Amino acid sequence: AQTVTQSQPEMSVQEAETVTLSCTYDTSENNYYLFWYKQPPSRQMILVIRQEAYKQQNATENRFSVNFQKAAKSFSLKISDSQLGDTAMYFCAFTTQGGSEKLVFGKGTKLTVNP
Amino acid sequence: NAGVMQNPRHLVRRRGQEARLRCSPMKGHSHVYWYRQLPEEGLKFMVYLQKENIIDESGMPKERFSAEFPKEGPSILRIQQVVRGDSAAYFCASSPNRIGLAQETQYFGPGTRLLVL
């Protein structure tokens, strides 16, 4: 079975500091894609960052970057210079290549950025 | 380019009534996915559709739930004879018909919050 585990139900960070959210996954597939989505209090699902499993280079989007360790099946999200607007639920997800590309989500990490 | 549209945003139904949730994908997107989010949970896949075809409905409950994506118009998720356990947020996502990461990236609508009284 394909699963995603986010081991930190809640985290907090001070404004302007850096925080890392962890994610591990389990799949027997070799080709897949990984995502982090943000869900603020409005509950809209917003794509934060994405990564192809065949790429060794870690994806970066402004203050957001990932540490992708394929052998360890780990895909952590680092948020630099945290802002109050980063307060949200963060969901890690993956999908396999080809066919029905449903996303498999973790249970999420609730991040609070404190002033 | 308008995002994924869902309506209604909030829907209240009494037990036994029918709920119809609508989703219009982003322009140029031909793949539609429905997910359900229970309180304090992540999203769970329900069904994947392309125009006029159900590709994967492995996440759909066997009874009372159905989905369609007609040639013209939005995708519809229909729940018949709703029960309290159907209360949840239902999200629609769409992706474009291109190969690789672009195809695999799903963009979500704002969701429909269904409350069954």
pLDDT single digits (tens) B77-102: 999 999 999 999 999 999 887 656 66
Q: Quickly tell me which residue has 């629609």 as its tokens.
A: B92
Do the chains contact at B108 and A37, CB–CB below 8 Å? yes
Nearest to B89 by CA among B61, B109, B59, B112: B112
Q: If you average pLDDT over residues A57-83, what whole number do you get?
A: 96
CA distance B3 to B27: 8
3-state DSSP call for residue A14?
strand
> Does residue B57 or residue A43 have the better pLDDT?
B57
Interface check for B35 against chain A (CB to CB < 8 A): the answer is yes
Q: What is the pLDDT of residues B16-43, one digit of tens each?
A: 999 999 999 998 888 899 999 998 888 9
Interface check for B41 against chain A (CB to CB < 8 A): the answer is yes
3-state DSSP call for residue A86?
helix
Do the chains contact at B42 and A106, CB–CB below 8 Å? yes
- Hey, what long-range contacts does B98-103 have (CB within 8 A, 24 or more apart)? B100/A52, B101/A33, B101/A50, B101/A52, B103/A101, B103/B31
Q: What is the pLDDT of residues A17-31, one digit of tens each?
A: 999 999 999 988 888
Q: How far is A49 from chain B (nearest CA, A)?
A: 10
Of A43, A46, A47, the CB nearest to B89: A43
Do the chains contact at B104 and A97, CB–CB below 8 Å? yes
Q: Quickly tell me which residue has 């992708």 as its tokens.
A: A68
The residue of chain B nearest to residue A46, with distances taken between CA atoms, is B108
CA distance B2 to A110: 28
